[in-house]
Structure 1
Amino acid sequence: MKPAVRFPVSTTLLRRLTYANIVANVAIVVTGGAVRLTASGLGCPTWPRCTDESYTTTAEMGVHGVIEFGNRLLTFAVGIIALATLLAVLLHRPRRRGLLPLAVAVFLGIPAQAVLGGITVLTDLNPWVVGLHFLASMLVIAAAYALWQRAKDPDGPVVAVVPAPLRTLARITTAVSAAVLVIGTWVTGSGPHAGDHGAARNGLDPETISQVHADSVFLLIGLSVALVFAFRAVGAARAYRAALVLVAVELGQGLIGFVQYFTDLPAVLVGAHMLGSCLVLLATLSVQWSTRERQPVAPAPAPPSTPAVEPVAANA
């Protein structure tokens, strides 16, 4: 017999922690963007120390040092939330299948991101490494979203709620969404916001790669609109609503992208575009999850009761 858990964790607390994981990882993407957009990427010029003599910023480094060091400190806050979530998964009973690997993945993703961030500093903000740093954050956010969804779902079998061709279309849309994120890092690496005035660019022509990015966005929106009509046609209400949200987020993100391009990439709009990238990813994952559902496990049938047998009186 397994020993009882001394400090049980409720399902409500577990769900709140998994949701906090998503918020925290999106927040650190936005603050990381602020580091780049304020040219503070080398505010702490080395890693893991901030300077060769100090782990913290110094007065001589000014506001850029404060911004970069502040973002490093935020990594610890995100890690604490991930650790609390992992402990909650371990203490939650009954433990749902698949929760622990996802919680471990999110938790280990935080130090991995810190190391990647350090490599970006040590390589003087190489644009390809900076792009990889951003994409790794997207993977952590995807794992955090999967963890949150798993904490919400009952512990039962997974059942498809839309026909197989539409599930395939949803997977293609997810793949194109991922491609849009990757190409977006190429656009960023060719643009003016390098994170430091002396940082190198990736050498791609900004106008050409921006057009490629715009074309991929148009493809993504077209696929998403197709999902809206297809889900509505088969009566998949939950998937239909998720696809509508995805299209709305994509249109908002596209509008920000066009405005920032034609206004010479103001920092505020670029930061909003980075937040929009996270929202597009989350909305895409929501559509993917809406094509299936996990059904609760039916309770085991009670064993048949044995009718009581009345004693038979012996013959006289």
Structure 2
Amino acid sequence: MTSDRLQRFGDRLALPLIAAPMFLVSGVELMVAACRSGVIGSFPTANCRSTDQLDEWLTTIETRLCQHEAQTGRKAAPLCPNLIVHRSNARLEQDLAVLLRHRPEIVITSVGSPAPVVKPLHDAGALVLADVASIRHAERAAEAGVDGLVLLTAGAGGQTGWLNPFAFVRAVRAFYDGVIVLAGGISDGRALYAAEVLGCDLAYMGTKFIATRESMADDRHKRMLVDSSADDILLTTAFTGLQTSMLRPSIVAAGLDPDDLPARGAIDIARDIDVGARESRPKRWRDIWSGGHSTSGVTDVLGVDDLVARTAAEYREARAHDPP
């Protein structure tokens, strides 16, 4: 970790890694396991059905991590809620209030300008990282005073960016000296080390954490990732209106033709609450599953401890072979 902003975490991180926040995948068990293993655990606050449940999740996670510290004498890696700051998030103010009470060490903002939430989060002691998918968005987030930028690049699962990670990181590093997190295509410890060499402080790993025993993903989703490769990832706007990386086999299983999908956002599964005759229709994220280019690196379903240990061994080997 090169950034001074991350030094507060000292030796609490086994790897410069964030378990990416994933809709309907990242939950209490995954967060506890990731943080205990020395990886920053992040989850979308939208994974909670209500603000009250968000409060319950945070309390449960914090309690279990405190118990871990008491039992082992080791402080866990930080927990990092992911807050949707777009005006369409009707729970934004309420969820923010819960976060301010719990005082998380890191918060990631997504889908909109972080400007309105930066000061209150800073006042609560949190580092603020902002998701960005373009140079202009990176510039605006930096101007808003965030502590770090999560660069959403081509190859990330779910709603993704389009820029090449090499070009994106170097372009942002030319004007920004804060924390940079690379999101997209991190499949093992060697790729993680490469992200550091490129100029990043941290990286997301998402797809491989889907295929863990602790994730909330459907077991069929996990097995499909094991059986698939990067060739099975389809970039499409049909389901969300935004560029989204989805698993072709899940589209086929839902009775759709991945090579003949309707126009941008035209498939009527945008709402995850169906009634009446719509009940049998496929639902986004429940039946149409995401995956990133790192799907080729998913070879089995592991426990989080085993995944982190394996990634750490790969990372150490990559560092050891780095030429002087």
Structure 2 length normalisation: TM-score?
A: 0.27
Say which one has the larger Rg: 1
More helix by share: 1
Structure 1 length normalisation: TM-score?
A: 0.27
Query: Per chain length, whose mean CA-contact separation is higher, i.e. which structure has more relative contact order (CA < 8 Å, sep 6+)?
Result: 1
More strand by share: 2
